[in-house]
Amino acid sequence: MDYDLYDALLHHIFKQTQGDAWFKPSEENIHAGVCLRVETGHFRVFPYDNRYLEPFEAAVRALNPVVAVKVRSAAVHAALATVTEDADCIYVDHDTRIQILDTMSWLPRADKEQCGAFIRDERVLVVWAYDADQIINMCQDFENKLIKLLWRKRAMFLNPPSATNSNAASNVNLTEKVSEVVGEKEVTAAVEKNLEKGKDKKKKRGCRWGFNYFVSSKDDVEKAAEGPSERPMRLFAPFYSGLSAAMSVFFVGSGVAILVEETVLDGLYTRFALLVTAPLLFCISLFFCLQMFGNLSMIIGPVAQYHQNSKYYSATKPAPNSIVDANLPHITIEMPVYKESLKETM
């Protein structure tokens, strides 16, 4: 068989993305592979002549990326095990949401801009790219994010609910009491005291308390990071706007006072027709007053509110809220680039 440049690229992508993966031989009906677009409507799959990759090739042909990789790894299997059967996506991190499709035949209907999708029945991850130079980095990035996700959820695997139901209540109560009463310094002092006395039982007890204390503190931090960030109400803007409105009224009132003084002197009331322009003059002066108080507030202060989040202002990235993120609608926007033809883009 004569190999060409496409064969070399297929071999290289397969080796770099999943060449070290190992699975039981009994699962030979679900093979990993790479599918590369050679020309319009023509794709080449590696490993060659593998009939189990035909559904994958057909799905990629309909999806029409430049290259797609079917990844099988322990991280993919474990990530799918962390979600329920009716879940439609996995939040790998705060910025990455990967869709879950029931079968490989649903791949052409996937959200193309995500460049990745889990296949539930085969327990694989399909990653695609529209630039062959990016596919290796994308697969490695997905793998790293999955490992980080599983590492964050390791407590669920280490302490399954079925194995710890009998001791769950006592352990939680012990952890809460120790975290509230025992501090880090007190734990250290207790351990040192027990070491000096040579009491092994108390030494173990002190070490266990210290471990529970640190775990409880970490859990509290993680729970706080998952909720909405605090957004207090700031009243600087109403205060500045009120001062500006008062000064505008003062300016208009000064003009009215002049009209009154002149009318008292000469007795002519026709000049009060100028009061029709008072609302317009108020609006014009209000703009300049707002600018004046705004500039003074930036020069004199306070300015800390410009660097903090408030109810109607966002200066920093808020803490993630998984409840809100899970219920947001997913929107797909596809726009052709000016140098691409509409036929190939569609």
**HEC profile for 236-286?**
HHHHHHHHHHHHHHHHHHHHHHHHHHHHHHHCCCHHHHHHHHHHHHHHHHH
* Global confidence as pTM: 0.45
What are the per-10-residue average pLDDT scores of the chain (346 residues)?
A: 73 74 51 85 83 87 89 84 84 81 88 87 88 85 85 64 46 44 46 49 38 37 55 90 95 93 91 92 94 92 87 82 76 74 66
Say if residues 203 and 210 touch (Cβ distance below 8 Å): no
State how far the Cα of 188 lies from the Cα of 117, in Å rounded to an integer: 48
Q: How many CB atoms lie within 10 A of CB 242?
A: 12
pLDDT at position 227, please? 62
pLDDT at position 149, please? 84
State how far the Cα of 309 lies from the Cα of 319, in Å rounded to an integer: 11
pLDDT at position 185, please? 46
Say if residues 33 and 53 touch (Cβ distance below 8 Å): yes
Rounded to the nearest 5°, which phi and psi values hold at 338?
-60, -25
Write the DSSP string, 30-77.
Answer: S--EEEEEEETTEEEEESTT-GGGHHHHHHHHHH--SEEEEE--HHHH
- pLDDT tens-place string over residues 139-168: 888 888 888 888 887 755 555 555 444 444
State how far the Cα of 65 lies from the Cα of 127, in Å rounded to an integer: 10
Measured in whole angstroms, the distance separating CA 327 from the mean position of its chain's CA atoms is: 13
Stated length of the chain:
346
pLDDT at position 205, please? 38
pLDDT at position 77, please? 83
Q: Which of 85, 84, 88, 119 is nearest to 105 (CA)?
A: 119
pLDDT at position 42, please? 83
pLDDT at position 280, please? 94
pLDDT at position 346, please? 59
Say if residues 68 and 127 touch (Cβ distance below 8 Å): yes
pLDDT at position 178, please? 40
pLDDT at position 217, please? 38
